[in-house]
Amino acid sequence: MPGSHLPLMEEGMARWPFGPPNAGIALDFTGVPPALDELRALVGDRWKALPRLTQTLVAPGGPRTGLAWWTGRHRWARRDGHDLGRQVDEAYGTLRDVVRLWFHTPFPADRPPWSLHLLRGSAEGEFSLLFRMHHSLLDGRSLTTLLRALFDDGGPLDGAASLAVPGPRRRTVRPAPSAGGPPGLLTAGRAVPLPHRGTREPAYTVVRLRTDVLRAAREAASARTATTNEVFLATVSGVLRSCLSAAEAAPPGTGTASHGDRDPDRDRDRGRGRETGREREPGQVWLSVPVDERPDDCGEFLGNAFANVRVPAPVNLSDPAARLTACTGLLTPVTRPRRTSEKLFEGTLAAVPGATMALAGGKIFAPSYAPAACSYVHLREQGQTLAGRPLRRLTIVPMVPPADTATFALGGCTRGHTLSVATNSGSQDADLLAEAFLDELTLLAERTP
């Protein structure tokens, strides 16, 4: 609610130590770009009843030392009557250009921390809408709710529904029997060395996935057609396995081998399911996956209602199809009452955010905790158009990830899927990992029975 302190998840993102906690989604359309006034009028009409979009983020006051450092908390402040049209502007440039600029620039403190940018494409008949936000304001589900409302078959969003905070019942993930149960909150696993190529700085890239390859990869499961999310997790697991292989193959003292240095014979053997090289070191590799906690009756809540869960990455399996089977059912959702112990634990940690970050940050941000995060956002409806202009692509822009980790973000709509990769380990790493993802997806597709 406006004026209230941030809950634990949002407070943690407001204190993100790796750069401004900015994230967003880009929607690419075919057609002549709308006029800026037309877009502002549409936003004003469809989003006018949403208090969340008129709030500003207020940092804790006083010196950041002593008791204030341990207990200071961010809060939301009302900006009643704020004109949402002021948050909409236009620019020229590619998505990577604006990500390099805007996503590493904090929002001004005196305005709501979000913007909608009309990006005029370099080619005629193409344009994009890029929604940029401070992640403490909204999550991925909130973004899809907002953006759907702008489509031709949408309508004004309901203010009361947007404030309906998920209550005692939450959606969560039921661990698959093969996973052996969830890890402990601070249980570490095995780190995965990234390529570490280029200047040590955040990097971001986007690639398109071939629809026929993704479809074939879903058919590689042994028991049933896999979900796109299961293919996603299995493919990322293959990328992490290839990183481990590259590190094992690198001569001592030379650093991590890049994916461009792969041995084609080793890759071919791995695609056929034969183990090569040394045995894998012990230790589970974990993937961090955001899971929407909204029950069905709170689907239009705007804010952050997700939990990061960790699932095992089957990097010890050499056969891509076996990795897909191992990922089957890892994200089976269930709805259950929220336990009293969970509420007390979260409330206690949120009361002393400085202490929580100091004690847990070194653990939860370490590569051994989760060397990769996997996020999937999709719009499944048919016929998505904006003032008659058809949607052709959805692309996610994640936050800058923790050092020496990677974020893989899959964006999907009826026209296809794109993969975004963000890293914080080397200027070339995002491109290398995206290339490796395409390779692994192709290997999985070729395993179709």
Phi, psi of 114 (to 5 degrees): -155, 160
What integer pLDDT is reported at residue 449 of this predicted model?
A: 61
What integer pLDDT is reported at residue 276 of this predicted model?
A: 35
Percent of the chain at pLDDT > 90 equals 59
What integer pLDDT is reported at residue 264 of this predicted model?
A: 39
Q: How far apart are CA 99 and CA 96, in angstroms?
A: 5
| pLDDT, greater one: 165 or 142 | 142
- Which residues are within 8 A (CB) of 62 and not within 5 positions of it... i.e. 6 or more apart? 68, 72
50 pLDDT more than 90: yes
Q: Where are the beta strands (DSSP E) in 298-425?
A: 306-313, 332-337, 372-378, 385-386, 389-397, 406-413, 416-423
pLDDT digits 0-9 by tens, 241-268? 999 998 887 666 555 544 444 433 334 3
Please, where are the H alpha helices in 250-295? 264-272
What integer pLDDT is reported at residue 277 of this predicted model?
A: 34
Range from 206-215, 260-269, 332-341 carrying the lowest mean pLDDT: 260-269
Convert 398-427 to b/e letters by CB count within 10 Å (16 or more is b). bbbbbbbbbbbbbbbbeeebbbbbbbbbbe
Q: In the sheet that 22-30 helps form, which strands lie side by side, from edge to edge?
A: 88-92, 114-120, 126-134, 22-30, 389-397, 385-386
End-to-end CA distance of the chain: 52
| pLDDT, greater one: 404 or 181 | 404
Amino acid sitting at position 77: A
Helix (H, G, I), strand (E, B) or coil at 420: strand
pLDDT digits 0-9 by tens, 406-445? 999 999 998 899 999 999 999 999 999 999 999 999 999 9
Q: How far apart are CA 251 and CA 256, in angstroms?
A: 9
What integer pLDDT is reported at residue 267 of this predicted model?
A: 42
Average pLDDT along the chain: 85
pLDDT digits 0-9 by tens, 357-367? 777 778 889 99
pLDDT digits 0-9 by tens, 61-113? 755 555 666 677 889 998 888 899 999 999 888 888 889 888 889 999 999 99
**Average pLDDT score over residue span 158-186:** 76
Convert 359-389 to b/e letters by CB count within 10 Å (16 or more is b). eeeeebbbbbbbbbbbbbbbbeeeebebbeb
* Residue 350: how many other CB atoms lie within 10 Å: 18
